[in-house]
Structure 1
Amino acid sequence: MAAEAETSELPKIVAPPPRVPSSPVRRSRVGDLPMRVIYRILAGLAAVVVAAAAALIGFLSSDSADSSDRPGGEPPGQIAAPSAAVSSPGPSSPRPSSPAAAPAATGAAPSGTPAPTPDGSAVAAALADPRVAEPPRDRKLARLPGKAVSAKRRVADDKSGISLARLGKPWKGFGASPFSTRQVLPPVRGAGHRAMLVSCPVPIQVQATMKDTALLAARWTLNHHPEGARIKWTASQRAGDGWLLAYRVTYKLKGKTRSSMAAVVVTETDRAKPALVFVTIPDAQRDRWRDINTAVSSVRAL
């Protein structure tokens, strides 16, 4: 019994394998968060984005203002001003104002600025005047009737820049105003006006040529003839640096047709305006008409 006991096998004790604990399943933390927390996070992010956008806009605006304040700076995107050249206006476009109208609105041109070139409208208006028959044709002044007066002395017209003959008796000096110099004949009853020889700077607008200027001056002299006087040209010729126009002036006095012989000389000088010499003698003193030849041929620049 003892031997059997000694040789019997002991039962094997098998230890169970160690139990490995299973790892817990990871869960999303976002999913574990309550929805109110998520909303708070999203609202915070939105506030941050809005604040950042506002700061960026403010920075850009400040930079734009700074650039426009600098000399020559322009705000971004500003369109440059168009050039001075303007295309021709269409039928529905307003016509731009003419540059020639400006001097009229602002007054006379400053000293030293050349006057605008006349466009001939004043000459056209003078020739359209019924008191001026037709344009003068170039022809020399003929020797007028009468006996020439003595003219050994001269009269200087500093204002006009010329000198002319001082006609002898019966001519005499007289108050010059509104002219620069004046010589007259004794008045004659029924003549309509007094014979006179005067000088002054031209009282009308200077034209492109001395001939046109003389034409306007001759028309202006009708102010010193009886009302209704009309011009008929008798001579038109060059006179030194100027032009001479001679003409007969006809008018009516007490129903009778009367006339005067007259002439103007317009000449260039070193003064601002050309000089004018004007002489007129009524038919009641036709024996002195030859003095017109003496007067107009004596004009000299100082």
Structure 2
Amino acid sequence: MPKVTASPPVTAPSTPPPRRSRIGDLQMRVVYRILAAAVAVIVAAVAAVVGFLSSGSSDRPGEGEPGQIAAPSAAGPSPGSTPSSTPTAQPTPSPSAEPTPDGSAVTAALADPRVPDLPGDKRLARLPGKSYASKRRIQDEKSGVSLIRFGEPWKPFGASPFATKQVLPAVKGAGHRAMLVSCPVPIEVQATVKDTALLAARWTLNHHPEGSRITWAASQPIDEGWLLAYQVKYEVKGKNRSSMAAVALTEVPGAKPAMVFVTIPDSQRKRWRDINTAMASIRRS
């Protein structure tokens, strides 16, 4: 019988070893744990930053959203509570609600050698000159009154610093120009309209020659106000001169009193009667 020989076993070609990951020999589950931990740290950091930014504006007392101002509470402190030491905003008083002055301004005015003590109530007498009437009126919207608008030789003039202004032609050597003006009273309002009129009369010396002195001619109540008339004496180039003047204050609701002031030098004495006319023409708007 033929001899049977066993053939050697066929071996499969060897396969190359698998390529390793760059991470090395770490198992994938360890990689996943590391990635998860890193993500958790990043999320926590972002949350902390957002929380800090959002709390930055609310941690400051008295601040709200940008562009808004917290309004103070209108309610007073509850019984037994201690008032806060932080000052609260107070409303700005309206002109009609100004605190009553202490009278020091009046005392100072009466101590001024240019201003004598006010006389007792005395009505304005009819002044020299001819009466010139006019039906035209000037409305002073700023002051809240209206008054006569004289015709020629009076004429409107640049009002500043007043609200309305009328003037007579300038006269050489008179010392100043005759004028009729109106405006809200330019000095501090006093406890009474009479005291305010006193300070206003003293203020009008700014519109007379330097060294002018007042001699009172009238002090009387008028409708919703007070009127003072006076002669103003001064020197011009060494010569004694004078003007006749008057100031009237009219109380206006919700505003400072309106002031009407007129002064006419003695070189235009024939127009002094216009002072009577002007003072009698004042009306509240």
Same fold by TM-score greater than 0.5: yes
Q: Deviations over 1:24-81 (max 9, x none)?
A: xxxxxxxxxxxxxxxxxxxxxxxxxxxxxxxxxxxxxxxxxxxxxxxxxxxxxxxxxx
- Aligned match of 2:92: 110
Q: Secondary structure at the match of 2:159?
A: coil
1:230 and 2:213 equivalent? Answer: yes
Distance 1:125 1:182 in 2: 29
Q: Secondary structure at the match of 1:133?
A: coil
Give the letter for the 1:298 counterpart.
S
Q: Deviations over 1:241-283 (max 9, x none)?
A: 0000000000011111100000000011134111000000000
- Aligned match of 2:104: 121
Q: Secondary structure at the match of 1:277?
A: strand
1:291 and 2:274 equivalent? Answer: yes
Distance 2:272 2:91 in 1: 42
1:162 and 2:142 equivalent? Answer: no
Compute the displacement of 1:136 (Å): 2.8
TM-score (norm 2): 0.67
- Aligned match of 2:133: 150
Distance 1:234 1:287 in 2: 18
- Which of 116, 141, 157 is the matching residue for 1:133? 116
Is the CA contact 1:141–1:236 (under 8 Å) kept in the aligned structure 2? Answer: yes
Gaps of 5+ in 1: 1-82, 85-105
Q: Deviations over 1:87-116 (max 9, x none)?
A: xxxxxxxxxxxxxxxxxxx9x972449322
Query: Aligned in 2, Cα 1:121/1:153: closer, same or farther, shift over 3 Å?
Result: same
Q: Secondary structure at the match of 2:276?
A: helix
Query: Aligned in 2, Cα 1:138/1:181: closer, same or farther, shift over 3 Å?
Result: same
1:244 and 2:227 equivalent? Answer: yes
Overall identity of the aligned pairs, in %:
69
Q: Secondary structure at the match of 2:278?
A: helix
Q: Secondary structure at the match of 1:244?
A: strand
Distance 1:111 1:123 in 2: 22
Distance 1:196 1:213 in 2: 21
Larger radius of gyration: 1
Q: Secondary structure at the match of 2:248?
A: strand
Query: Aligned in 2, Cα 1:246/1:207: closer, same or farther, shift over 3 Å?
Result: same
Q: Secondary structure at the match of 1:272?
A: coil
Distance 1:135 1:246 in 2: 11
- Aligned match of 1:257: 240
TM-score (norm 1): 0.63
Q: How many residues align?
A: 201
Distance 2:94 2:161 in 1: 26
Distance 2:104 2:276 in 1: 31
- Aligned match of 1:301: 284
Give the letter for the 2:244 counterpart.
M
Is the CA contact 1:149–1:169 (under 8 Å) kept in the aligned structure 2? Answer: no
Greater shift, 265-274 or 156-165, is seen at 265-274
Distance 1:266 1:215 in 2: 10
Q: Deviations over 1:199-237 (max 9, x none)?
A: 000000011111101000000000000000000100000
Q: Secondary structure at the match of 1:211?
A: helix
Is the CA contact 1:206–1:273 (under 8 Å) kept in the aligned structure 2? Answer: yes
Is the CA contact 2:118–2:219 (under 8 Å) kept in the aligned structure 1? Answer: no
Q: Secondary structure at the match of 1:206?
A: coil
Query: Aligned in 2, Cα 1:120/1:172: closer, same or farther, shift over 3 Å?
Result: same
- Aligned match of 2:175: 192
Distance 1:295 1:246 in 2: 12
Compute the displacement of 1:169 (Å): 1.1
Distance 1:193 1:175 in 2: 16
